[in-house]
Amino acid sequence: MSEIRHSVIRVHDLVKTYPGLVAVDGISFEVFHQEIFGLLGPNGAGKTTTMEIMETLREKTSGEVIIDGLSVDTDPDEIKKVIEVQLQAAGYYPSLTLTELIRLFSGLYNVDVNPGEMLARVGLKDKARAKYKELSGGQKQRFSIATTLINKPKIVFLDEPTTGLDPQARRNLWDLIREVRSEGTTVMLTTHYMD
């Protein structure tokens, strides 16, 4: 018996305007459970603005946004319990080791995780004692994804996760994203790479 696909993100006629600027102009889409869904477009196309509205970080002008059955208008606190957002590099203490950072984040979420197992999931177990500032660009991106998985979210938001990576690091990151999806998480991302 096959599993019935159900949507976990529904965006209908989303609009975001600023004085003299239409940042998002009536976009609609649906994302299903365990899907990898990408917003593709050049810089300035409104991808990040759309994501920030879904993440309840920015208010919309009009339209409807439903995340896991919850409205961004009435249920932002409940939405925050089922999503996770990839931090940019500035969100980490550069002089802490990866193990220390995993422990810090698990403490913030009040969950018990094994730092070695979490780092192994993203191919960084051998870097457990390395400081964040010592990582390559691809390693930093993989570590960033590891921190989004600590709380076992239903939906992960990744904003241009492969920007600035060399082709091999980009392929490795895509493999990791597919693995995250295979473990039951829906992945919503922005990119300007066609591949």
Among the ranges given (2-6, 90-94, 108-112, 123-127), the one the predictor scored with the smallest mean pLDDT: 2-6
Q: Using CA atoms of 158, 163, 164, 168 in order, give the dihedral in degrees to the nearest 10.
A: 80
- Other CB atoms within 10 Å distance of the CB of residue 23: 17
pLDDT computed for residue 6 by the predictor: 87
* Separation of alpha carbons 172 and 174, rounded Å: 5
* Contact (Cβ atoms closer than 8 angstroms) between residue 40 and residue 191: yes
pLDDT computed for residue 1 by the predictor: 46
Segment 19-65, tens digit of pLDDT: 999 999 999 999 999 999 999 988 889 999 999 999 999 999 999 99
Q: Sheet holding 21-32: strands in order across?
A: 21-32, 7-18, 62-67, 70-71
pLDDT computed for residue 126 by the predictor: 95
Distances, alpha carbon 135 to alpha carbons 63, 75, 131, in Å: 41, 37, 7
Q: How confident is the model at residue 88 (pLDDT cuts 50, 70, 90)?
A: low
Average pLDDT over residues 151-157: 92
pTM comes to 0.87
pLDDT computed for residue 89 by the predictor: 59
pLDDT computed for residue 4 by the predictor: 64
* Separation of alpha carbons 140 and 157, rounded Å: 16
C-alpha torsion sign, points 186, 142, 108, 117: positive
Q: Is the pLDDT of residue 137 over 90?
A: no
Q: Which residue has the higher pLDDT, 99 or 164?
A: 99
